[in-house]
């Protein structure tokens, strides 16, 4: 920590700040200039809040130097984290992984058809929500565990992995047998109790950035999961809230390379929520991979116009197929690749 004192700070005030820094475990070096005194605290103190120092008498400004996250930092695993799933699919490797599916699981037929289309397009993960966080209590709230069962069946038939959202601690246990990856939604990015529990499961987690979360806060939330012992974690950029209303959110593509610098965790992009409009999704998906994303999470629905939620941002099946083809062309430009579509035995 560094504390810059005001030019008119008294010796007593300076001494007071030094004492508090020492109390916290800092070694304090004092630099006295013509204008002001600067106190540099080095060492490895316990937890402290830099804002406390900012309001002490005589203090001009105080800065935290070391980041508060440790396990999430790039330095913890410079080579990068690779998450290996049961069927051998790896997130965080050279291959860019595409995950797609409907916003909500609506019926056995809908999800079976979705799985087929997703697999045929060349994706490796089936996404779909069984527990739905909806702004209004009167909106469709999802099929719950029944939805997960039929999603599992559909995914298995087409060799897909299942990624789906968990909203509440009590859902974790019953979800475990049906899914391959927990997704924590943007609204729950700072539901710390939920994050702490997910640190104790042995199942990969995809943590979405909150719509008003800084990148620093995403990494601190990641730290909750990592510090519980679960290192199979990927992060997801899905748009932040700004003044612009032409898109649902402002999809912050720059967050992808910024995160890749700061952390060893894989980073995927969700252009569907990022922009909220189907016709913008392909260009944003391409841009995400051009920017270095390790994967994409996108909404596709067999019949978007009839979707029970998020139809406006769901791709038509043929759009997904076309997009994955383009992604396959683009990936090598950034030294990546996209797996070829699986040969479907029963297709």
- Scanning residues 287 to 306, which ones bind its own copies (CB under 8 A)? 287-292, 305
The C-alpha atoms of residue 314 and residue 312 are separated, in whole angstroms, by: 6
Nearer to its own copies, 116 or 260 (CB): 260
DSSP string spanning 37-105? EEEEEES------HHHHHTSTTEEEEE--S-S-STTBGGGSTT---EEPTTS-EESSSBPEEEEE-SB-
Q: Which residue has the tokens 């020492």?
A: 22
Cα 194 from Cα 191, distance rounded (Å): 6
Rounded to a whole number of angstroms, the minimum distance from the CB of residue 91 to its own copies is 19
Residue 155 or 235: the one with the smaller Cβ distance to its own copies is 235
Per-residue b or e along 161-178, where b marks 16 or more CB atoms closer than 10 Å to that residue's CB: bbbbbbbeeebbeebeeb
The DSSP string of 274-332 is HH--GGGHHHHHHHHHHTT-SEEEEEB-SSGGG-SS-GGGPBPHHHHHHHHHHHHHHGG
Burial of 74 (0-12, 13-18, 19+ CB in 10 A): middle
Can you tell me the distance from the alpha carbon of 162 to that of 174, in angstroms, rounded to the nearest whole number? 15
Q: Could you give the CA distance from residue 123 to residue 330 in angstroms, rounded to a whole number?
A: 16
Among residue numbers 128 through 187, which ones bind its own copies (CB under 8 A)?
Answer: 133-140, 167-170, 187
**Nearer to its own copies among residue 128 and residue 239 (C-beta):** 239
**Per CB under 8 A, 58 contacts its own copies:** no
Select 333 or 345, whichever has its Cβ closest to its own copies.
333
Question: CB of 158: closest distance to its own copies in angstroms?
Answer: 27
Q: Does 231 bind its own copies (CB under 8 A)?
A: no
Residue range at the interface with its own copies (CB under 8 A); choices 47-55, 91-99, 113-121, 149-157: 47-55
Q: Which stretch binds its own copies (CB under 8 A): 23-31, 84-92, 105-113, 339-347?
A: 23-31
Q: What does the block give as tokens for 235? A: 């992060």
Per-residue mark of binding to its own copies, 244-283 (x: CB under 8 A): xxxxx-xxxxxxxxx--x------------xxxxxxx--x
The residue from 4, 83, 89, 115 that contacts its own copies (CB under 8 A) is 4
Q: How many residues bind its own copies (CB under 8 A)?
A: 111
To its own copies, the closest distance from the beta carbon of 133 in angstroms equals 5
Q: In angstroms, what CA-CA distances link 17 with 6, 61, 224?
A: 12, 12, 31
Q: Which of 188, 263, 272, 321 binds its own copies (CB under 8 A)?
A: 188
Q: Which helix (H) or strand (E) holds 149?
A: helix 145-157
- Residue from the set 24, 113, 311, 342 that interacts with its own copies by CB under 8 A: 311
Q: Is 216 in the site for its own copies (CB under 8 A)?
A: yes
Shortest CB 77 distance to its own copies, Å: 15
Q: By CB under 8 A, is residue 81 in contact with its own copies?
A: no
State which of residues 22, 24, 40, 90 lies at the interface with its own copies (CB under 8 A).
Answer: 40
Radius of gyration of the chain (CA): 23
Task: Measure the CA–CA gap between 20 and 264, rounded to whole angstroms.
Answer: 34
Residue 315 makes contact with its own copies by CB under 8 A: no
Interaction between residue 79 and its own copies (CB under 8 A)? no
**Measured from the CB atom, is 154 or 179 closer to its own copies?**
179
By CB under 8 A, residue 42 contacts its own copies: yes
Question: Among 18, 24, 145, 330, which residue interacts with its own copies (rule: CB under 8 A)?
Answer: 330
């Amino acid at each position: 920590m560094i504390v810059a004192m005001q030019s008119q700070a008294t010796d007593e005030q300076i001494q007071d700040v030094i004492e508090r820094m020492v109390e916290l475990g800092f070694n304090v070096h004092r630099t006295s200039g013509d204008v002001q005194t600067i106190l540099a605290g080095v060492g490895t103190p316990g937890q402290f809040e830099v804002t406390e120092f900012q309001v002490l008498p005589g203090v001009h400004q105080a800065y935290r130097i070391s980041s508060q996250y440790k396990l999430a930092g790039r330095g913890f695993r410079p080579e990068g984290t690779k998450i290996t799933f049961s069927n051998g699919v790896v997130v965080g490797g050279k291959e860019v992984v595409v995950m797609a599916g409907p916003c909500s699981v609506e019926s056995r037929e809908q999800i079976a058809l979705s799985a087929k289309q997703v697999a045929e397009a060349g994706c490796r993960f089936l996404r779909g929500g069984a527990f739905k966080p909806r702004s209004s209590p009167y909106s469709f709230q999802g099929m719950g565990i029944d939805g997960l069962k039929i999603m599992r069946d559909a995914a298995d038939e087409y060799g897909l992995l299942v990624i789906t959202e968990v909203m509440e601690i009590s859902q974790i246990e019953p979800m475990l047998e049906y899914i391959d990856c927990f997704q924590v939604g943007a609204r729950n990015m700072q539901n710390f109790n939920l994050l702490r529990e997910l640190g104790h499961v042995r199942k990969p987690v995809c943590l979405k950035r909150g719509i008003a979360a800084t990148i620093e806060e995403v990494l601190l939330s990641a730290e909750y999961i990592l510090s519980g012992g679960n290192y199979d974690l990927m992060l997801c950029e899905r748009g932040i809230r700004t003044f612009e209303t032409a898109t649902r959110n402002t999809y912050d593509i720059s967050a992808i390379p910024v995160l890749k610098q700061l952390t060893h965790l894989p980073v995927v992009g969700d252009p569907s929520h990022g922009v909220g409009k189907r016709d913008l999704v392909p260009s944003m998906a391409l841009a995400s991979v051009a920017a270095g994303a390790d994967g994409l999470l996108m909404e596709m629905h067999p019949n978007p116009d009839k979707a029970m939620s998020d139809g406006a941002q769901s791709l038509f099946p043929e759009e997904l197929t076309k997009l994955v083809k383009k992604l396959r062309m683009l990936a090598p430009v950034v030294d990546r690749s996209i797996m070829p579509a699986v040969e479907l035995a029963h297709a």
